[in-house]
Amino acid sequence: MGIDMTVTIGGAAGQGIQTVGDLLALVCHRAGLYLMVINDFESRIRGGHSFMQLRISDEPVYAADDGIHLLVALNRGSLAVHAEEIRAGGYALIDERSEGDDKAGEGGEAGIAVVGFRRLAEEAGGRIMANTVAAGAALGTLGAPDELVESVIKDQFRDKSQTVRDNNLEAARMGRNAVAEIRFDWRLQWPGQNPRGKLVSGAQALALGALAADCRVACFYPMSPATGVMVGMAGYMDRFPLVVEQAEDEIAAINMVIGASFAGVRAMTATSGGGFSLMAEGIGMAGITETPAVVVNAQRPGPATGLPTRTAQGDLHFVIHAAQDEFPRFVLAPRTLDEGYETMIRAFHLAEQYQVPVIVLVDQYFTDSLGIAGRKWVVPEIVERFLVSDAEMENPARYRRFSTSGSGISPRAVPCAGKARVMVTANEHAEDGHLSEAISDRNGQMEKRAKKMKRMVEEMRSPEVLHPDSSLLLVAWGSTCGVVREAVMRLRRENHDVGAVFFSDIWPFPAAAAAVALSGPGQFVMVELNASAQLGALIRAHTGLHAAGAIVRYDGRPMKPGGLMHDAMQYLEVSDG
Amino acid sequence: MGIDMTVTIGGAAGQGIQTVGDLLALVCHRAGLYLMVINDFESRIRGGHSFMQLRISDEPVYAADDGIHLLVALNRGSLAVHAEEIRAGGYALIDERSEGDDKAGEGGEAGIAVVGFRRLAEEAGGRIMANTVAAGAALGTLGAPDELVESVIKDQFRDKSQTVRDNNLEAARMGRNAVAEIRFDWRLQWPGQNPRGKLVSGAQALALGALAADCRVACFYPMSPATGVMVGMAGYMDRFPLVVEQAEDEIAAINMVIGASFAGVRAMTATSGGGFSLMAEGIGMAGITETPAVVVNAQRPGPATGLPTRTAQGDLHFVIHAAQDEFPRFVLAPRTLDEGYETMIRAFHLAEQYQVPVIVLVDQYFTDSLGIAGRKWVVPEIVERFLVSDAEMENPARYRRFSTSGSGISPRAVPCAGKARVMVTANEHAEDGHLSEAISDRNGQMEKRAKKMKRMVEEMRSPEVLHPDSSLLLVAWGSTCGVVREAVMRLRRENHDVGAVFFSDIWPFPAAAAAVALSGPGQFVMVELNASAQLGALIRAHTGLHAAGAIVRYDGRPMKPGGLMHDAMQYLEVSDG
Amino acid sequence: MVDLNAYHNDFENKWCPGCGNFGVLNAVKKALAEQEIPPENVLLVSGIGQAAKTPHFLNCNFFHGLHGRALPVAAGALLANHDLNILVHMGDGDCYGEGGNHLLAALRRNLDVTLLVHDNRVYGLTKGQASPTSRYGFASSAQPFGSFSDAMNPMALALSQGAGFIARGYCGEVDHLAGLIRAGMAYPGFAMIDIMQVCVTYNPVNTYSYYNERILMIDEKEHRADDWQAAIHMALQPEETIPIGIMYQKETRPFTSRIRTLSDGPLIARTRDPSAVQAVLDELG
Amino acid sequence: MVDLNAYHNDFENKWCPGCGNFGVLNAVKKALAEQEIPPENVLLVSGIGQAAKTPHFLNCNFFHGLHGRALPVAAGALLANHDLNILVHMGDGDCYGEGGNHLLAALRRNLDVTLLVHDNRVYGLTKGQASPTSRYGFASSAQPFGSFSDAMNPMALALSQGAGFIARGYCGEVDHLAGLIRAGMAYPGFAMIDIMQVCVTYNPVNTYSYYNERILMIDEKEHRADDWQAAIHMALQPEETIPIGIMYQKETRPFTSRIRTLSDGPLIARTRDPSAVQAVLDELG
Ligand SMILES: Cc1ncc(C[n+]2csc(CCOP(=O)(O)OP(=O)(O)O)c2C)c(N)n1
Ligand SMILES: Cc1ncc(C[n+]2csc(CCOP(=O)(O)OP(=O)(O)O)c2C)c(N)n1
Ligand code: SF4
Ligand code: SF4
Ligand SMILES: [Mg+2]
Ligand SMILES: [Mg+2]
């Protein structure tokens, strides 16, 4: 690996961390570099301390890393927070002191370059461009080619006036000039290649997947970190047969989705744990009425309000069991941006094929992080709707929405589309859809619904296995797979006998495939962002296999390779020894 | 066993089945007989077919039984429905035909006695007393002593006028005289003893337990089959420091309970699955704010609206995992009326001792059935509140509600009761109660909360084991234990080598005790009212022990010993053979 | 006019004999027949309760969902296909209790459906607890010392939030009620009809005779439907008389006409264009 | 008067500089000080949002709960101890969106708390989506083509449901607002104060200058507080001027005085009598 470095932009909420970070990311992306960008926000709009961290590499990267090579400190406080993380030889770019600066932050052992972010911005035409100065300085330190920087700035400000564009170009240039003297150890070799893929966030990947899947109604109630998925779709309402509507609460959101789906279009919602709690009853209704529904749960730490802007994987058991009694559902936990896009297409497909709710389980780390999605994103030519119409019925007047004959999947028609009456109730019902308390109807419908599980489990993709014969397998799911992959690669480079098992399809639990994946010669250890290692419990319950231990975090922060490797060593020493 | 017979009263909803049944139950109770009374309602107010079934015995009974000895058919339809269940030699009491009778129902092989329920009632003073005539006829058939019947009727109508009382006495007498000729094979030997205990429903047992535990606020939204618990308390508002308030929805109910508990009194709610779904977020809030809360979930079949008036045990996994992320909670599933009363006292105690939500998991069969509670119901002299006040603090101004020092249980004070400020948030927080995103606070609080689980699991009572060395153990929880006990007794009488394991304390799962109970020489089979044998899955996940199979029902009806014995034989034949 | 029998089905009715819901059911049939909407073109959406069972007793399409949640289900269905004829049946507990928040939102959206609230001032299906429209002090098994809350005023609520079609009906005046339903369905926007519905089993206060003594048909000549002041006066007047009819009507902009996307026809009828998605992806490089 | 500093604590404030919430915070301190309620005798209850963080910035007892759910928490606390001084802080999304149903119920109960809605007409904490009081067409990242819903009218809503204390305040008029809060706390019953609160970050429409140009203090001499007609007129008038002050006030019967049980003192203060329970059990034989 040639290039592998981390740039952190720190400051107070509202200072424009994102503006700086986006410019850096766009330049790197355009230069053909790989990226992993994480966002660390507090639950506030101004003040406090937030940061954005870009890991830049010439090979694919799967996680944020420890240590900072270059820090862009938009305020002195950020320097204080991050000083210790800066690697020897690293640099911190800071603004000139001015009134109102907090007192903290006097450096550390890193090289410090004082750049007049605000002063230079004023010279370039206005204080508002302080962030462009900072970006210019950072990109200058990294040695980014001028043309590249300028082309990105032009694009970023293309909807603005010529003056604004020019002023920003000037601001960036002044930033670069201000750091011309700096000799930065990790000054990049700029490959000057084509982009390696799309630069997108997880939220965008899910939104675009939903668009590709022909989702036409999206209803939601804002909740971090899920709102980005809905915002990612809303802007396309003018170009697609799509309505994105903010509901009065999450209960309404899920019921609107079910109403839209019942009436014949693909529909979804996105929320986080608290909203998902409120949706539980509705998800049960999707279950008993066999109405397709796609629900994104972007996890954050709980319980209750918890840590609104942070990450976790604490809802796994809950989403599998949410709502009273039993009914089939899917739970899919995409691991990467590419898989996020594809999972949404699959989620809508599976929801309609099996007439069940599909829960796409991601987390703040997944939705809020940016990276390079390298796979080609295929737009399906056709989306199969699995609907029946009058023409396909022997006698539409005798249409039975919940017919128990056949495979367990009853014929789904759309209301008011012909002579067939579509009658649906969230009470238990007879085949025709009328409520019924008869034992035969109850058992018939329960068994019909349960029957689907058999075929559904066959849809589950087997976990991916890296180095199955290792003496230690680290087992993860969803977005945590990235950091595990990274840690495994590094540990193997250090000659440790370690592999990994990655789950993205979680429910119905692919027990047989899991047993195969985990029955290698070594032991396995869970790596999860929840307190009790919930996937580990599922594995135990469904395969009888016991993890040798669990490396868990519940502090709301994404896991880093360093800490994980450290914890994994504990098991490796035993098996190595 | 001397006496063991079943009387069924069938009719349309609204016909007064309950009036007849209650009279019969009261007479039997007063005579010192044992009883098990189940109610089978449809989800409607008038019409259709409902019935009440009394199993009467001179020894304790634990379940309703198959077969009917005496049927009281308030309409002809009931005769049709139940005719086949009547045992040879049994009797059906039916009314004279009159206009508006449905055509169905012409007997079967049972003896049929036509009694002019309505005609005789009119003679006695009014048609409204048809049910008293029916009760008189039934009790006459059973040979109940006149004085006993009359004393019960007098008590039942004690708040009515003398005329009403006399008319009803007359009606009962006429009913009895009308059946004077019947020679009924199971005519009872009336022991004429004192009552064997209290005649109460499950809902009443829970309500009275809550009263004994000093519950002062009960908030709820009506939902079958939980409403009875709240109605069972509401009537005592004039005699106790107790407010029972109907909330606008279940979300409000749980939040009101938490508010009341936070402010310093014991508080509870009761609901069923759909309402419990809506409470999930609130239960998480009780978790993170460490506010005691008692929540009764009286299960009915789902998903969603499901079968509102029927029974199930389908919510076990859901209640254990409800709400995002992880936090400690208790789940208790009382098996009997006595245990229902005691469990409520324990639930409030545990909720306050550990500052956690406690879920009391019952079902329609439990709440709506009546029986004889034979144990003495102890009223605790003192209820421990586990509260701290200024006087107990070193410095009230420095009071830290969420202090992490010590056992994991932080000192709980009441707001506005002194100088100590009680600051509570459903966000993650620092020890003082202010919201905090610091990793140290997050981990500190998560670990403090998790630490409680260790002591909580020690509070769990071990499952009860019958005949541990049997080749087959039937394993059940909650109200289903009754029918299993009955089946085991009968199977053993037939010389089958069968025992049972009964769980009432379910979460935190008493894994060690479960392993001991289930590690006998034989195999074990789950008996549950849900599709997937959810307790079986818990056992597997927490002990690694596998059930040899599962006998499950999800048709919404209480399990009967006959069917269970039949299904159990399948396993016994293998082990016997 | 379509034959009334066309709306009939053979599903066993589950209401009590004498229940006011029968009047509502007949009025719905009549209104549909008079408008010549064939039953297969009607979508009934309901919550849970006695009122919410209504759809089962009509030969139409229906979605009988969760307690309190009929309006969002209807909103979703409407977004998918705004050509649908949607009637929403809810009880007073359903609509003003559990579902209160959705009513507020439907008013804000001006959701173009017709809402029929079978307002019997009691929780029927769960055996007689006080409902949001039960009067203060209403006693029941769950409120043995009477309800502690005042009754909600649904008509005044809707008026206060700018609703464009507000009517009150009575289950004992079937023809009149049918007229209201027809007018509501013809109204482009949210049409809210609160129906005085007698529960013969659990509400001993608001009986047929209670209403028969108080009901007063609004005279269209005396009361101008667009007179908001007169309407609010009616809504707030003490229940010595109970005016029934259209209390208030004005022109408004219905929800589905506010959404540009829908001007190209119902979402369900639009064709999918994969190349448009490809174009979006291509923009991302 | 208690020293204002007594209500101050050292917890770091998390609002944007210039946020209208500071005005509300100061008004609360002032109102409490003027009433001489020591901070340890105040209970603040809130939902989730920027507004709902207010309790953290006061040196009082508080319960900062779930989005939308402050009113039921307050109701429960009040049932437990009706001697509590409860102030409820909610955002417009909190109170009129997620929590709308609880507001309807609080009105019906006449819950004896003082409700302060920090009404910034936007979802602040979640970064600027339209709220129930955002005007039709309000554009944001989540509503790029504008909000499709009309704004709720909270004052008219409360008036329509018989509320007894209805006021509107403005974060830019701290003393005036403090007066309203004082009056609200003194009122025996549900006191609802909707506060025009500027969000400098996400609401570019309803700015300080927007309000400064429109605010008009209600003149107690001109406007009789018990004149419902005048009040509803004010509540419904177009926003050319925005009257602030007590719009309506009348005597009502507060929730906790409706409940017989509570006449013997707060539940929390009552002594338990095991023998009374025993008596109940004995009745069952
Ligand atoms: C979430 C939820 N809570 C409670 C119930 C129980 N429930 C069913 S119907 C009903 C109320 C019925 O009253 P109303 O809406 O007025 O209808 P009516 O029966 O009077 O027509 C209730 C509380 C439920 N089904 N779901
Ligand atoms: C159940 C639930 N849904 C959504 C959220 C996310 N959320 C937090 S605050 C908020 C809205 C904030 O708006 P408002 O109530 O107006 O308060 P403001 O921040 O404007 O003061 C939302 C949607 C949540 N915490 N819980
Ligand atoms: S209980 Fe009341 S509302 Fe329900 S069917 Fe009977 S009369 Fe009608
Ligand atoms: S986002 Fe708006 S409401 Fe929130 S603190 Fe900032 S200015 Fe105030
Ligand atoms: Mg009703
Ligand atoms: Mg707001």
In eight-state DSSP terms, residue C96 is I
Q: What is the pLDDT of residue A99?
A: 54
Q: Ligand 3, atom 1: nearest CA belongs to which residue?
A: C124
The full set of domains in chain D, from first to last, is: 4-255 (3.40.50.970)
Q: Is the pLDDT of residue A166 over 90?
A: yes
pLDDT band, residue A104 (cuts 50/70/90) = very low
Span B113-127, average pLDDT: 92
C187 versus A576: the higher-pLDDT residue is C187
Q: How confident is the model at residue B405 (pLDDT cuts 50, 70, 90)?
A: confident
Residue whose tokens read 């956690």: B356
Q: Is the pLDDT of residue D20 over 60?
A: yes
Question: Could you read off the pLDDT of A245-261 as tens digits, one per residue?
Answer: 999 999 999 999 999 99
* Contact check, Cβ <8 Å, B248/D264: no
Residue B193's pLDDT band, with cuts at 50, 70 and 90, is confident
Tokens of D165: 């204390």
pLDDT for position D61: 98
In the CATH hierarchy, which fold is given to the domain comprising A4-196?
Pyruvate-ferredoxin Oxidoreductase; domain 3 (3.40.920)
Residue B551 pLDDT more than 60?
yes
ipTM above 0.85, yes or no: yes
Q: Is A466 in contact with A488 (CB distance < 8 Å)?
A: yes
Instruction: Give tens-digit pLDDT for D90-136.
Output: 999 999 999 999 999 999 999 999 999 999 999 999 999 999 999 99
Q: Which two tokens stand for residue B338?
A: 């006595």
Task: Tell me the C-alpha distance between C51 and C120, whole Å.
Answer: 9
Asked if A284 and A319 touch (Cβ cutoff 8 Å), the reply is no
Asked if pLDDT for residue A481 goes beyond 70, the answer is yes
Model confidence at D42, pLDDT cuts 50, 70, 90, reads very high
The predicted pLDDT at position A98 comes to 62
Residue A102: the pLDDT is: 47
Q: What are the backbone dihedrals phi and psi of residue B531, each rounded to the nearest 5 degrees, phi first? A: -70, -35
Residue B102 CB coordination number (10 Å): 11
Residue corresponding to tokens 């025009």: D196
Q: Residues 6 or more apart from D28 whose CB is under 8 A from it?
A: D7, D54, D58, D87, D116, D178, D181
- Contact residues on chain B for A285, CB-CB shorter than 8 A: 303-305
Length of chain A: 577
Average pLDDT of chain A is 94
Cα gap B374→D284, rounded to integer Å: 12
What does the DSSP assignment read for A471-495?
SEEEEEETTHHHHHHHHHHHHHHTT
Interface test with C, best of D92, D102, D108, D259 (most C CBs within 10 A): D108
Could you give the 3-state DSSP secondary structure of residue B9? strand
Cα(D90)–Cα(D197) distance, rounded to whole angstroms?
12
- Cα–Cα distances in angstroms (integers) from residue B323 to residues A538, B288, C30, in the given order: 18, 11, 47
When scoring C82, C94, C101 by the number of chain D Cβ atoms within 10 A, the one with the most, hence best to mutate, is: C101
Can you give the pLDDT at residue B476?
98
pLDDT of residue A189: 84
Question: Percentage of residues in chain D with pLDDT exceeding 70?
Answer: 100
pLDDT tens digits along D210-228: 999 999 999 989 999 999 9
Dihedral (Cα; C266, C271, C274, C277), 10-degree rounding? -20
- Residue B573: per-residue pLDDT: 77
> Could you tell which of C117, C200, C203, C211 is best to mutate to test the pocket of ligand 3, judged by most ligand atoms within 8 Å of the CB?
C200
Q: Would the CB atoms of C72 and A251 count as touching at under 8 Å? A: yes
**Structure confidence at residue B98 (pLDDT):** 62
Distance from CA of B416 to the nearest CA of D (A): 5
For residue D23, give every residue at least 6 positions away whose Cβ sits within 8 Å of its Cβ, in sequence order, or none.
Answer: D170, D171, D172, D173, D174, D177, D197
Q: What pLDDT is recorded for position B152? A: 95
Q: In angstroms, rounded to a whole number, what is the distance separating the alpha carbons of residues C7 and C62? A: 13
Q: Residue A130 and residue A75: Cα distance in Å, rounded?
A: 12
- Using the predicted structure, report yes or no on whether residue D285 has a pLDDT greater than 90: no
**Contact C68/B249, CB-based, under 8 Å?**
yes
**Radius of gyration (C-alpha) of chain B in whole angstroms:** 26
Distance, CA of C256 to CA of B449 (rounded, Å): 49
CATH number of B464-576: 3.40.50.920
Distance CA(A344)–CA(A350), nearest Å, equals 10
Does D125 contact A43 at a Cβ distance shorter than 8 Å?
A: yes
Examine the pLDDT at B425 and tell me if it is beyond 60: yes
Q: Does A234 contact chain D (CB < 8 Å)?
A: yes
Q: How is chain A split into domains, by residue range?
A: 4-196, 199-373, 390-458, 464-576
Q: What would the pLDDT profile of C240-280 be if each residue is shown by its tens digit?
A: 999 999 999 999 999 999 999 999 999 999 999 999 999 99
Tell me the three-class secondary structure of B276-332, residue by residue. Answer: HHHHHHHHHHHHHHCCCEEEEEEECCCCCCECCCCCCCCCHHHHHHCCCCCCCCEEE
Residues 6+ apart with CB under 8 A from D238: none
| CA diameter of chain C | 74
Could you report the per-residue pLDDT of D138-156, keeping only the tens digit for each?
A: 999 999 999 999 999 999 9
Residue A190 near residue A145, CB atoms below 8 Å: yes
Sign of CA dihedral C51, C52, C54, C56: negative
pLDDT band at B104 (very low <50, low <70, confident <90, very high): very low
Q: Which residues have C-beta within 8 Å of that of residue A134, sequence separation ≥ 6?
A: A9, A20, A72, A74, A93, A95, A115, A117, A175
A233's enclosing H/E stretch is helix A227-234
Q: Residue A426 and residue A422: Cα distance in Å, rounded?
A: 13
Q: Which residues of B touch C145 (CB under 8 A)?
A: 234, 237-238
Binding site membership of D50 for ligand 4 (Cβ less than 6 Å)? yes
Whether the pLDDT of residue A10 is over 90: the answer is yes
Q: What is the pLDDT of residues A178-194, one digit of tens each?
A: 999 898 989 988 877 89
Chain A residues lying within 8 Å of B446, measured CB to CB: 531, 554
C147 touches chain B (CB under 8 A): yes
The residue of chain D with its CA nearest to that of B419 is D40
Q: Check if the beta carbon of residue A299 is closer than 8 Å to that of residue A252.
A: no
The DSSP symbol for B347 reads H
pLDDT, mean over chain C:
97
How far is C284 from A207, CA to CA, in rounded Å? 13
Count chain C–chain D contacts defined by CB atoms under 8 A: 81
Q: Which residues of D touch A221 (CB under 8 A)?
A: 97-98
Per-residue model confidence as pLDDT tens digits over C97-133: 999 999 999 999 999 999 999 999 999 999 999 999 9
**Is the C-alpha dihedral spanning A80, A81, A87, A92 positive or negative?**
negative
pLDDT range class, residue A436, cuts 50, 70, 90: very high
- The fold adopted by the segment(s) A199-373 is Rossmann fold (3.40.50)
β-strand pairing of A198-201 with A86-95: unpaired
- C30-56: per-residue pLDDT in tens? 999 999 999 999 999 999 999 999 999
Phi, psi at A25, each rounded to 5° = -65, -45
DSSP A168-195: HHHHHHHHHHHTTT---TT---------
Query: Residue D187 — very low, low, confident or very high, per pLDDT cuts 50/70/90?
Result: very high
Span B285-293, average pLDDT: 98
Report the distance separating Cα B51 and Cα B92, nearest Å: 14
Q: What's the pLDDT at C165?
A: 98
Looking at CA atoms only, how far is residue D159 from chain A in angstroms?
A: 22
Q: Does A531 touch chain B (CB under 8 A)?
A: yes
Q: How far is CA D208 from CA D116, D131, D196, D198, in A?
A: 19, 18, 10, 6
Domains B199-373 and B464-576 share a fold: yes
Amino acid B105: pLDDT: 43
Query: What is the reported pLDDT for B109?
Result: 59
Is the peptide bond preceding residue A303 cis, with omega within 30 degrees of 0?
Answer: yes
As a whole number of angstroms, the distance between CA C7 and CA C33 comes to 8
HEC string of B415-433?
CCCCCCCCEEECECECCCC
How many angstroms separate the CA atoms of C57 and D92, rounded?
Answer: 41
Interface membership of D276 toward B (CB under 8 Å): yes
Q: Taking residues C17-38, what's their average pLDDT?
A: 97
Put simply, the answer to whether C144 touches B48 (Cβ < 8 Å) is no
Amino acid A107: pLDDT: 47
Is the CB of residue A498 less than 8 Å from the CB of residue A573? no
The CA-based diameter of chain A, rounded to the nearest angstrom, is: 84
- CA distances for C39 relative to C7, C15, C28, C55, C262, angstroms: 6, 22, 11, 11, 25
B151 vs A47: CA distance, rounded Å: 78
CB B561 within 8 A of CB B483: yes
Mean pLDDT of chain D: 97
Q: Tokens at residue A551, please?
A: 């490396």
Place A408 in a pLDDT band, splitting at 50, 70 and 90: confident
Are A285 and A425 contacting, i.e. CB atoms less than 8 angstroms apart? no
Residue B235 contacts C, CB cutoff 8 Å:
yes
- Supply the pLDDT for residue B576: 55
The 10s digit of each residue's pLDDT in A530-563 is 999 999 999 999 999 999 999 999 999 999 999 9
Residue whose tokens read 């009113």: D71
Tokens representing C87?
């009637």
Mode of pairing for the β-strands spanning B266-271 and B215-220 = parallel
* Residue C17: CA count within 13 A, CB half-sphere: 7
